[in-house]
Amino acid sequence: MTSRTNDRPTLTTESGAPVADNQNSASAGAGGPLLIQDQQLIEKLARFNRERIPERVVHARGAGAYGYLEVTDDVTGYTHAAFLSEVGKRTEVFLRFSTVADSLGGADAVRDPRGFALKFYTEEGNYDLVGNNTPVFFIKDPLKFPDFIHSQKRDGFTGVQEPDNVWDFWSHSPEALHQVTWLMGDRGIPASYRHMNGFGSHTYQWVNAEGRAYWVKYHFKTDQGIRCLTSDEAAELAGKDGNTHQQDLHRAIERGMFPSWTLYVQLMPVEEAADYRFNPFDLTKVWPHADYPLVKVGKLVLDRNPENIFAEVEQAAFSPNNFVPGIGPSPDKMLQGRLFAYGDAHRYRLGINHTQLPVNAPHATTASNNGRDGAMRFDGNGGRAKNYEPDSFGGPVQTGRPLATGLAVTGETGNHAPVRHRDDDHYVQAGALYRLMDAAQQARLVANIAGGLSQVSDDAIVERMLAHFHAADPAYGHAVETAVKEQRS
């Protein structure tokens, strides 16, 4: 129970002890030096030194809100994802908006793409969809991404974003022209996060219950209408207040003016990709709507602000590798690179246990894996459960059902069983090694094995292991079995 003074909670140290004086440091006499025994002083200064975590290299400046996706149209013919399984179904979401190039202290009203990162808290685990407010991007190969970002960030010598660097990279990268045309056009500076569209940008895959696969692109059309700023309007606004977009989103939700987007998808049967007139997995290109019309899915609504920006916006971690059954990746090279890079960035910034933070943890399911330990482990750390698989003690097991099969359908990827050769079993060479030993070596081997195996309390484990020795060589198995029985008795 929290102690209270005059109907207000008592200020405490981090260990819970009450603080007597939070205005004056303890000292050796009225004019003397301060004392290291002053727990409140030492603890406050030490914590203050450690309050910041590394900001995101890109998408550092952001705002976010909670809401829901409501399915309005039947898409079960295209995906068996449970959260899209019936009209009227709602799934909680968290959406983080961001600028891309500038730092955490940058202004909102600048000419820059906007991140549009969604976390769906589905009944089958979290599904993360990481995109932008543009349907394309500057590059199509992740190998170029560090160079691209270096050219857009502050110069190491001058400390500011240099036009020479920005345009030099673009001039060497003609594939950037499509995105540059978007960025420098009328929609390059959204008037607010509410008045812009969102896109998954990459190509993903959907798979239905019958195993038919589709390549898919996501489109979130703002229901508030598109509103943008001119360069002059943005410069004036950013000069007056750097927090315009964040405040606009927060205030709209607080007033009950809940922003919404209508979700559409474009769908391409997997077999059509090979013969399409350009590479459908190229992130610098869009699919013309005349070829693949928009299919309506549902309504995205934001209706709740975070209680704490650091805990819920700064620590929100999105990875496009977080899929759910019925949805998966495509051969999009930029997506493939991000499948690694995003998760790795969060493991660096937030630590290996960042998925346990409330904003990142699944809501309808419980993560059940063999991850243990690591910095800031604040749950039960698995308790007594074994942290390996397969096991004999009731631990989690694989389903044998792939999340999505689109790439496997095209014969490009999959979990393939190895090609078997004549002696490709687990016993031939182990038995041969046993038979190479002389009698004394065999006796010592058997004694060593029996010494460990006889201490196993579970009879099923012992029997399973003895079967392996018998399969390698009957004499080997008989000798181990006899020695184990003797030691256990």
C-alpha to C-alpha distance for 91 and 364, rounded to whole angstroms:
10
Tell the burial category of 382 from Cβ atoms under 10 Å away from its Cβ (0-12, 13-18, 19+). Answer: middle
Q: Report the first-to-last Cα separation within the chain, whole angstroms.
A: 55
- Is 342 labeled as ligand-binding? yes
Provide the 10 A C-beta neighbour count for residue 415: 7
Tokens of 335: 């997506």
Chain-centroid distance of CA 108 in Å reads 24
What's the one-letter identity of residue 281?
Answer: F
Under a CB-based contact definition with an 8 Å cutoff, are residues 199 and 220 in contact?
A: yes
C-alpha to C-alpha distance for 411 and 406, rounded to whole angstroms:
9
- Cβ contacts of residue 75 below 8 Å, gap of 6+? 84, 265, 295, 297
* Catalytic-residue membership of 132: yes
In terms of Cα–Cα distance, which of 350, 360, 354 is closest to 378?
Answer: 354
C-alpha to C-alpha distance for 360 and 353, rounded to whole angstroms:
10
C-alpha to C-alpha distance for 472 and 479, rounded to whole angstroms:
12
User: Which residue matches tokens 């003016």?
Assistant: 257
231: left (phi over 0), alpha (psi -120 to 50) or beta: alpha
Tell the burial category of 354 from Cβ atoms under 10 Å away from its Cβ (0-12, 13-18, 19+). Answer: buried
Under a CB-based contact definition with an 8 Å cutoff, are residues 354 and 348 in contact?
A: no
Chain-centroid distance of CA 138 in Å reads 22
* Catalytic-residue membership of 24: no
Q: Which helix (H) or strand (E) holds 303?
A: strand 295-304
Catalytic-role residue among 132, 133, 322, 353: 132
In terms of Cα–Cα distance, which of 343, 198, 214 is closest to 267?
Answer: 214
- Cβ contacts of residue 378 below 8 Å, gap of 6+? 353, 356
- Measured CA to CA in angstroms, residue 96 lies from 88, 111, 120, 318, 421 at distances of 24, 18, 12, 9, 52
Q: Which helix (H) or strand (E) holds 41?
A: helix 39-49
Give the catalytic positions in this structure.
59, 132
Q: Which residues are annotated as a binding site?
A: 342
Q: Which residues are annotated as a binding site for heme?
A: 342
